[in-house]
């Protein structure tokens, strides 16, 4: 598991709109935000996995959906290849 969220958590919950990312991806994601994807101190593949994981989990919240297929399709559509 690379990440998870609680899409159906009520607003009063401590996990409402929270995304949890595996500690193995977190440094890559932070570095990609800070220094750009090509300078994330990870391979481009590792950076892509980190960014797509965050995007995927965000779509669970956005769509209020537990449907992995729908969420993944939307995340991939939103995360089209863009040259850095």
29 by Cβ neighbours in 10 Å (0-12 / 13-18 / 19+) ranks as: buried
Give CA–CA dist 63/84, Å, rounded: 28
| Tens-place pLDDT, residues 59-77 | 999 999 999 999 999 999 9
| Tens-place pLDDT, residues 13-51 | 999 999 999 999 999 999 999 999 888 888 889 999 999
């Amino acid at each position: 598991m690379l990440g998870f969220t609680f899409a159906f958590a009520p607003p009063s919950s401590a996990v409402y709109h929270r995304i949890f990312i595996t500690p193995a991806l977190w440094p890559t994601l932070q570095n990609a935000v800070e220094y750009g994807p090509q300078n994330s101190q990870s391979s481009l593949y590792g950076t892509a996995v980190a960014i797509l994981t965050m995007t995927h989990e965000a779509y669970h919240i956005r769509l209020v959906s537990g449907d992995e297929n729908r969420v993944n399709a939307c995340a991939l559509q939103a995360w089209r290849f863009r040259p850095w």
